[in-house]
Every structure is written in structure tokens, then in C-alpha cells.
Amino acid sequence: MVVAVSVLLYHKGHEGNINKGAGGMRVSTQARAQAPLEAESQAQTRLKNFKSTMKRIMKYRVLLLMTLPAVVYFFINNYLPMFGVVIAFKNINFADGIWGSDWIGFKNFEYLFKTNDAFIITRNTLLYNVVFIVLNTVIAIALAIMLNDIKNRFFSRTYQSLILLPYLISMVIVGYLVLALLDVGKGYMNNTILPFMGMQEISWYSETKYWPFILTIVSVWKGVGYLCIIYLAAIIGIDQEYYEAATIDGANKWQQIKSITIPLIMPVITIMTLLAIGRIFYSDFGLFYQVPLNTGVLMPVTQTIDTYVYRALINLGDLGMSSAAGLYQAVVGFVLVLVSNYVVNKINSDNALF
């Protein structure tokens, strides 16, 4: 059960132990080296440490070599681009290259924040993510509790399989599904559902006011199945005796959920929410680009930081603006991870990520 949590707790605890272990070892080698011969110079100690490290490297050279491909990959794919953040502080032109171009300090950021864009993309990204986190979590927990209570195993399994289906498909396909529903001329809404309810046709892809709801529904549709299975696994792991005791004491269903289920799955809820909050400055690019079919009219409600960076780079070729927005996102996002982890660490250090 709660494998999810145990993985993270294990991860964390392990790191802690290892840190202590390594620290302890360093102290003890130094102590051993210094205690018998006070006069022994520090240089010699260092040489000894170096020799023992080399010995360990030689002993585990095969293991170290095994890590090499992934280490090289991360260096190229993840670490090299980090140096590229300097682009945000430069006036890039391709004749001089990245390193030759002029430094312009915070000009790119000034341009970005002078326009209304910075406000709109930040607002959209944050608001959507807050709504998505709250709705997805609440609905997923509610469904997980219900799934766990369903006695008929066949039904329960069928529901589980089917609600996971949307999680599997790409956002491009989601774009097709949404179009089949919302297409102005042929969509299911305009042709079947709205006439049935006696309402006028709606030109979905040109009206901004519906999109906050549409995007939220799509996010719930695609994401809840996954979260639900995670919470279900946590709930299944709860000892049945708690519920038996509560039933004997006369607790009703709602009281049991409130005082047993929710508190016991709190570690999982905290971790999942923490991870989501750490990503609150990042939006699902596909959801905001593919699902509204890259429609210009809808941009005031569908533009987020990620779509802005993409459009500034690919459509406008504006490297300065695009990388400034990208760096803004990366830095604030990073700070948010640290802050949310710190807060959780203060409240209950068992639930923190690191």
C-alpha cells in the first residue's frame, strides 16, 4: 500500500542517512590519520584521502561507468541549457552568436513586464492551476472513497479501467474529441445537446467566456483517473479494524470518512498537492495550445507562460522576450518548490519531499 509515500519517505530518509554516513566516515578517517601522529602534515592526510578515494573509484569503476550514458545525457539535455539562461540578459543576434552578443542587463524583462502580457500569462497560469489542483484533488478523493466502498468487484474494476482511459491519450487526440463535441456546425453540443435543452447554438471557438470552464472540465476529465487510482491505493491500505471499531461506536459513513479515511491518507494528499504546487508556474502546454486549436481569438483566456514562450520563440522569433519569460518561470517555479517544501517541513517533516 501507500507505496507512493513510502517511496518518497524512503528516498528522503535514505538521503539523510547517506549524508550522515559519508560525513561520519570523513571524520573517522581524519581522526584515525591524525590521532597517532599529531605531526603528520595536512598534505599527507589529503594524499591518503585521495588515495583511498582513488581506490574506491577503481573498485567500483564498472558501476561508475554504467552511470555514464545517463550522466552525459543529463549534462547535454538539462545542464547545458541552464547556461543558456544568459540569453535572457542579452540582445541576441545570430551573427555574433550567444556568447558574442551584447549584454543588455534586464532590458528583456523590462519589456516583458511593461506589456500587459506578463500579468495576463501569470494570472492565467496561476488561476487555472489553483482551480485544477483543488478540483482534481477533491473529485479524485471522493471517487476513490466510493470506488473502495463498491462491493461488486467486477463493477469496481470496470470503473477503474475506464476512468484511466483519458490519461493515456495525447492532447492532440483530446483536441479531436473536444472538436467532435464543440464544432460549430457539426459538434454534438450544437446539434444534439443544446437543441434538446431548447438553447441557441454557440460559436464555441470564438467566445472566450466559455473556455475557462471547458479547459477545467478537460483537465478533470484527463487527470482525475490517475489521481483517483493513487488515492485508492492509499485507501485500500488502511487497516479495516479502524472502521470496524468506528462502526461499533456508532459512527456513520460521513464521520468515518472525516475522522479515519482523510487523516490516514493525508501524507499522500500532501505529497501530491506539494508536487502540484511546485509545478504551479508551469501549465500543461498541450491543454492550452492543442485543445483550443491554437485559436487567436481565445488567447486572452488560453495564453499561459508556456504557450507564450513557445509562440514568442517559434511564431515571432523573439528570443529575448521568450527566454526572459522562460527564465522568469523557471526561477519562480524553483523558488515555489523550495518554499512549499519548507512549509511542509515545518508542519510535518515526514511529508516533505527533501
Partner 1 sequence: MQTSRLYQWSINIIMLIFTIFCVFPFVLLVSASFTDDLEIVRTGYKLIPNQFSTAAYQYLWNNSADIFRSYGITIFITFVGTLAGMLMTTMVAYPLSRKELPFRNFLAFYVFFTLLFNGGLVPTYLLYTNFFDFKNTILALIIPGLLVNGFFIILMRTFFATSIPTAVIESAYIDGAKEWRVFYGIVLPLSLPVLATVGLFYAILYWNDWFNGLIYITDKNYFSIQNLLNRILLDLQFLQSNTQQVGKGAELVAKLPLDAMRMAMAVIGIIPLICAYPFFQKYFVKGLTIGAVKG
Binding mask 272-311 for partner 1 (x = CB under 8 A): x--xx-xx-----xx---x--xxxxx--------x--xx-
Give the residues across from 103 on adjacent strands. Answer: 90
3-class SS of residue 90:
strand
How far apart (Å, rounded) are the C-alpha atoms in residues 46 and 177? 65
State the amino acid at position 1 in one-letter form. Answer: M
CB-wise, 43 or 63, nearer to partner 1? Answer: 63
* Structural contact between residues 222 and 178, judged by C-beta atoms closer than 8 angstroms: no
Grid cell for residue 105 = 542587463
The type of residue at 339 is V
Q: Which string of x and - marks every residue 3-42 that binds partner 1 (by CB under 8 A)?
A: xxx-xx-xx--xx--xx-xx--------------------
Segment 190 to 249, residues that bind partner 1, using CB under 8 A: 190-192, 205-206, 221, 225-226, 229-230, 233, 240, 243-244, 247
Per CB under 8 A, the segment of 27-35, 41-49, 62-70, 124-132 that binds partner 1 is 62-70
Interface residue with partner 1 among 160, 208, 216, 345 (CB under 8 A) is 160
Closest to partner 1 by CB, 30 or 341: 341
Q: What is the closest distance, in whole angstroms, from the C-beta atom of residue 115 to partner 1 in the complex?
A: 18
Yes or no: say if 230 and 4 are a contact pair by the CB < 8 Å rule. yes
Which amino acid, residue 103?
W
Question: Smallest distance, Å, CB 55 to partner 1?
Answer: 10
Q: What is the DSSP string of 188-257?
A: HIIIIIHHHTT-----GGG-GGGHHHHHHHHHHHHHHHHHHHHHHHHHHTS-HHHHHHHHHTT--HHHHI
Burial 171-190 (b: 16+ CB within 10 A, else e): beebbeebbeebeeeebebb
Burial class (CB in 10 A: 0-12, 13-18, 19+), 333: middle
CB of 114 to partner 1, least distance (A): 20
Question: Which of the ranges 35-43, 113-121, 129-137, 142-150 carries the binding residues for partner 1, by CB under 8 A?
Answer: 142-150
- Binding partner 1 (rule: CB under 8 A), the pick from 106, 119, 155, 342 is 155
Provide the minimum distance between the beta carbon of 118 and partner 1 in the complex, in angstroms, as a whole number.
15
In this chain, which stretch among 33-41, 42-50, 125-133, 330-338 interacts with partner 1, using CB under 8 A? Answer: 330-338
If binding is defined by CB under 8 A, does position 334 make contact with partner 1? yes
Minimum distance, C-beta of residue 266 to partner 1, in the bound complex (Å): 14
Q: Please count the residues of this chain forming the interface with partner 1, following the rule CB under 8 A.
A: 123
